[in-house]
Structure 1
Amino acid sequence: MKTTFIILISAVIGLMILALSQGLDTFNSGLRISWLRLIRFLPVMVVAMLIAGFTDVLLPKALVERWLSDGSGWRGIGLGYLAGVLTPGAGLIGLPLVGTLYKAGVGPSVLVTYMTSMTTMSLMRIPLELGFCGWQLTSLRLTVSFVLPIFAGFLAHFVSPWFIKV
């Protein structure tokens, strides 16, 4: 987390310097837009942290082992897929939840399935996609994306030992 924070702060400083090099108006516009976005997303981020915190406290270990571990097989993959499809707010809600679930012992294959499903198959995204892209392109994308979360989850099951040491 510390390294990630340092990288992000470095990126912010670099962008601020670049904005300043283009003038004080550009810099001030960047600050104003950033502040407005923070105000807009702060309630969602607070809710996401509350969901993650209560999930951390309330998630029974036995449930994780039986239904969500890498040993749960199709059951875990299916639950991860369904949860990803139903997660509102995509990454703003889902990613803090993933961090909590990972620490609670949910298997990497289930989490990869969840994250892939959340980004490719979210029900919340479909109406927007239909409006912007039309039914033909949306139908094509959904059809070819349908198996991606399942494939990603099973692939993660086999390659996760190379990345995650228990």
Structure 2
Amino acid sequence: MSFVVKEEPAARPPEPKPKKIVDGGLLFLAAFTLASGLGVAWRFGAGRAWEIVLETGAFIAVLSPKIAAGLFIAGTLPMVLPRDRVAAWIGGESGWRGLVLGSVAGAAIPGGPMITFSLAAGFAAAGADLGAVIAFVSGWSLLSLNRLLIWELSFLPHDLVALRVLASLPFPLLIGWGVRVLVRRQTA
């Protein structure tokens, strides 16, 4: 008697649902934008409204490559990070260590929201739990070393900066822990 072992192909991730380009949120935003533009044109003249349109268009042209790179990072990060390692380090069972790592990583990440939120989305897709992701974003928002070293210490008194950092230090951990508690209550 002989046994034949069949190799099954690796399970593919589910196909993403197609996203609507035009939805209620976009329609609301478009209507609000149009109303704001008409309000500026009525109050300050059509020339000023067109100046704002051109300034905004230039800003979008500068920002678009950064957003595209951020979306690429968010989409590819889960493919290159080993899910089991990510879950062990910053997943739901990582405890306070995962929250500390998320907070410290957030504080250490240079750059703005395009980098930070893209990395946060990528970490979440790669196996990080919501508490660690929130601790990561909160660490970036409250404890950014980049902002601290370049801006705060350059312009503010050192004792004020130290007091602000000390006051902010526990919050990324507490916020991440609170999110974990809420998620566990919802899933229980």
Into which bin does the TM-score normalised by the smaller protein fall?
0.7 to 0.9
Question: Residue 182 of structure 2 aligns with which residue?
Answer: 159
| Residue identity in the other structure for 1:8 | L
Contact 2:78 2:126 in 1 (8 A): yes
Whole-Å separation in 2 of the counterparts to 1:149 and 1:88: 17
Partner of 2:118: 96
Give the corresponding residue for 2:161: 138
Quote the residue 1:11 is aligned against: 32
TM-score for both structures, normalised by structure 1: 0.85
TM-score by length of 2: 0.76
2:78 paired residue among 56, 64, 68:
56
Equivalent residue for 1:105, pick from 112, 117, 127: 127
Backbone CA RMSD of aligned residues = 2.3
Gaps of 5+ in 2: 1-18
Amino acid at match of 2:157: G
Q: Could you tell me which amino acid in structure 1 is paired with residue 140 of structure 2?
A: M
Task: Indicate which of 140, 143, 158 corresponds to 1:118.
Answer: 140
User: What is the CA–CA distance in structure 2 between the aligned matches of 1:113 and 1:42, rounded to whole Å?
Assistant: 27
Q: Which runs of 4+ in 1 moved over 6 A?
A: none
Q: Which of these two proteins has the greater Rg computed from alpha carbons? A: 2
> Are 1:129 and 2:152 an aligned pair?
yes
Once the 2 structures are TM-superposed, how far is the Cα of residue 57 of structure 1 from its aligned partner?
1.6
Partner of 1:78: 100
Q: Secondary structure at the match of 1:77?
A: helix
2:42 aligned partner, one-letter code: S
Cα distance, 1:18 vs structure 2: 2.1
Contact 1:116 1:149 in 2 (8 A): yes
Overall identity of the aligned pairs, in %:
22
Q: Which moved more, 1:3-12 or 1:57-66?
A: 3-12
How many residues end up aligned between the 2 structures? 165
